[in-house]
Each structure stands twice: as structure tokens, then as C-alpha cells.
A and B are shown apart, each in its own frame.
Chain A
Amino acid sequence: MPKLLHTPLMALTNALSAIALVGSIVILGRQESTYATILGFIAVVCSTINVVGGFLITDKMLRMFRRRPDPGAVNGRRDGRP
């Protein structure tokens, strides 16, 4: 696991673990009690924040990572070594 991707990995697993959304949707949708509806509503909102935010931020970070424009150039990473 390259250290470069540690933060994007955390953001991604965060989005994925928001799959608790699946459970919250069922609880909110079935309307079994007022209590369940209120808690389910909060849970769906929280999970959705994580899913949407998590995927967007992972995308934003990955977009920033780029290689050097001319990888074969003289200043390439391991070039110039004896």
C-alpha cells in the first residue's frame, strides 16, 4: 500500500462504510414507530453526507495526484544515479 494513497484510501473506505445507509433506509422506509422514523431519518442524512462527501473528496484527491509531465526526462526519479 503506497503511502501516497493513505488519505484517499481512508476517504474511500469511509464512503463505503456508509453502506449502513442500506440499513437506515429500510428502517426509515418501514415507518414502524415514530421513534424509528426519527432515528432512521438522522441515520440516512448522516450516511448520505458520508457517501456523497467521501466519494467526491476521494475523486478530488485522486485528480490532484499526477506524475511528472515528462517521465523520461533527465530529472526522472531514479535517473542520475551512479
Chain B
Amino acid sequence: MRQHAIELVYLVAAIGFVLSLKWMSSPPTARRGLLAGEIGFGLAIAATLATPGITGTGYAYIAAALFIGAAIGVPLGLLVPMTAMPQRIALSHAFGALAAALVGTTEYYLTQPAIGKFTMGVLGAEILLGFLVFTGSLMAAGKLQELLPQRPITYPAQNAINFAIFGAACAIIIALIFTPGSAALIPVLIVLALAFGVLLIVPIGGADMPTVIALLNSYAGLSGAALGFVLDNKLLIVAGALDGTSGLILSIIMCRAMNRSFRNVLFGAFGQLQEPDEGVEAGNVRSASTDEAAELLKLARNVVIVPGYGMAVAQAQHKVRELADALAREGVDVKFAIHPVAGRMPGHMNVLLAEANVPYDQLLDMDEINPDFPQTDVVLVLGANDVVNPAARHNRGSPIYGMPILEVDKAQCVMVVKRSMRAGFAGIENELFYDPKTLMVFGDAKAVVSELGAEVSGVKDSIGI
């Protein structure tokens, strides 16, 4: 009887989760979606605590663990700044995957050797995925936090080594399916999975991070769903499947936005964009001072700002908003153009600009804004590079050929704020910089933008720049 009641509550919670994601897909209903998720979660926890077999000391341990988790989770949720969001998200994938992997491992030791073939296969896959995502996400977080080098690290026979490890892990799972009692194989599987997670992320460069983060999100969900099959818990299956598919959809969107095949990403052949390119002839570069740039901006009827990772690194989002406000006061129409893979995670630029109080209806997606560029007076490119490189459109030899870009070169005038003439992350020369209608404004994004803002609002002298 009690078991039926618990199942019923789990069903209601699962419905809450589905509604939560459905409502989350549109800004006006997003908050309702969050609430549905929270209610579903609360119900699920309450029902779980009523599960038969939990001992008195068990409840004490549960309370202690919940308390410790909350004590770490609350500051992680409230205090982490938006600029650190990509590594925060990566870290939470690591925690989630570790939890799922540990539950799977424990379940194995508690039930072996009486494990059916199907369950053992799923359990093996779950342990592999869980530990793989754990170290993979830790590596990603380390790279994003710049504790580890951001550039891709490659070595000979990289893919061969990765495939060998993956093959060995699969062989162990198959062996376990036929002899579920060979408990000694589990630690080997775990070590292989941990190593595979590290090696998978080693060759990933910063520009590929949005895809990888979405992919790790998807893998974490899949391991949760697999755990649901093992524990015969439908709520876990539903939640894991929702997480897995939404992560998968996000990674497909990211792949499309970079014109990479999904196979290319799935098999860890990342970082292949980083081939040197010799196609572009270095021509003359026109550079402008901030005074000149500010004059041009003030004279424009409409300005489109294109933010990229450079804006995030310089933490220039607040200064950018001040510049946009100053221009709006001068009667200039200001919009922001957001490339899907700008930054280091899906939606990175949107979150940063939202933090700086830029209204979201001022942010336009690539497809929305591209037709507007020919009628745009000035485009201000802030720390973006490859996503505005016209070579993607016509240079068949370019590593980014075919990648959809923001077509800023069709605007009347383009201003590029950049530290120096160094090539972008992908190491590709950008012919946009040599275009006669492009003006380069050299300097740190934050410093340049705050000077521009001051110039536009005419308070330059009063703050003593």
C-alpha cells in the first residue's frame, strides 16, 4: 500500500519535471517552470523518506548529509558570480555524475552476483558514464577556471589511446554481463572510466567548450536514466531522460552553430579547428582612437554590438551596458547580436548581459539579426573573432568554412575592439580586420568600452581620462 502511494507521488513529481522543462522554454513562463520543478522535487524527497526499510540511524545520517549538501549548495548557488557560470555548471555536472556513479557502484555490491544480464549491462554503462563525466567535468571546470591550460593538448595516437581505453571498458562491461559475480572487475572499470574522462577533455580548446558542456550535461542525464533502470525507479528514468535529451538538443544546436558533425564531437575529435591557416593575405589595417570611434558611434542611426568571449574575460558587460545606454540617450538604436557559440557555454552572453541589466528583447539571435546588417550603420565587435570571420562564407580552405556567422561585414562600418592583431582562438587570420570599412580600436575591452561610454555621454573631462 505504502509502496503504491510512493509510486503515485513519484508519478506526480515526474509530471512536475516535464511541465518544468516545458515552461522553461519560454521567458514569460520560465519562473513557473522553476516552481514546478521545485515542487516535484520536494514531493519526491518526501516520498523517498517514507520508503520502508530506512533505519533510525539512517534518518540521522540522511539529515546530516542533506545539511552538509545544502551548506555547500547555497553559497554555490548564491555567491558564484555570473562570469564564473561556465565552470560552475561544469562543476555541478561533476557532482551529479559522481553521485549517480556512487549509487550505481553501491547497488552493484549490494545485489551481486544475482544481477540479470540486462540490468548488469545498464549498470556497467551507468558506472562508465558516471565516472567519465565526473573527471571530464572536473577537467572542463579546471580549464574554464584557467587552472589548466585552455589550449588543446594533443599528442600522437591520441584517438587510438582513447579508443583503446573505451574498448577495454566496454570489454569489462561485457565480461560482467556474463559473469556478474566478478566484483574485482568493477574497480578496473572505474579507473578506466576516470582516465577516459580526463583524456577526452585534454584535447578540447576553449572555443569548443559550449558543445562539450552541453554534451557532458547530456551524458550526466543518461547516466541518471540508466541508474533509474537499475533501481527500477521511473522518476529517475524520466528525469534522466529529460536531462539527457535537453543536453543532447543543446549539443546539436552548438554543433550546427559551428558546422561540426555530431560524430566529430561524439568521438572526441575536438580541437580539430586549431589547424594553422595560410589563406589570408595581411593587408592594411585602419585603426582609430576611442575619440574617433565615439564620434562615429554618436553619428550612427543604429548600432549593433557583437559580444564575444573577450567581453567575458575583460568583465566588460556593465561598461557595455553603460555605453549602450549613453548611445540610446543620443537617439541611437542599439541592439546586441548573439552568436549561439559566443563564449564558453550555451547562452553565456545572454546571462552576462542580463546580469548587467540589458533587457533581453534587445538581444537578437543570429538568424534574427543577419538580415539587418546591410541597414546597420556601425557594428561594434567586442572580443568576438571567429564568429564574425567572413572566410567561413567563401574560403573553402578555411578550417571554419561553412560555419554560420554573424554577417557584420555587410554593415556600413565595423569597429573591432581587440588587444592586438593576434589571431583568434582558432588561430585563423580574420580578413574582416583588413576590410577597408573596418576600424580597429586597440586596447582592453573594458577600458575601451568605458572610454567610449564616457566620450559618448560627454563626461570625458570630468572623470579625467
> Could you tell me which A residues sit within 8 Å of B by CB distance?
1-33, 35-37, 39-62, 64-69, 71, 75, 77, 80
Contacts and interface: CB of A to CB of B under 8 A. Distances in A.
Interface string B317-361: 000000000001000010100101000011110110011010111
Q: Is the interface of A mostly helix, strand, loop or mixed?
A: helix
Contacts of A37: 61
Contacts of B66: 44, 48
Contacts of A33: 109-110
Given A8-B30, A37-B61, A21 B99 contact: yes
Q: Is the interface of B mostly helix, strand, loop or mixed?
A: helix
A20 B333 contact: no
A60 B351 CA distance: 10
Contact-size category for B: 35 or more
Given A7-B346, A25-B45, A61-B351, A66 B360 contact: yes
A67 B48 contact: no
A22 B45 contact: yes
Nearest to B354: A64
8 closest Cβ pairs, A-B complex: A48-B69, A56-B77, A6-B347, A52-B73, A29-B54, A29-B58, A6-B346, A7-B347
A20 B93 CA distance: 13
A66 B359 contact: yes
A26 B54 contact: yes
Contact of B45 (A4, A21, A27, A58): A21
6 contacts: A10-B89, A37-B61, A42-B98, A49-B92, A51-B73, A65-B360
Interface in B206-248: 213-214, 217, 220-221, 224, 227, 231, 233, 235-236, 239-240, 242-243, 246-247
Given A20-B99, A50-B95, A68 B338 contact: no
A19 B77 contact: no
Given A9-B250, A53-B92, A4 B27 contact: yes
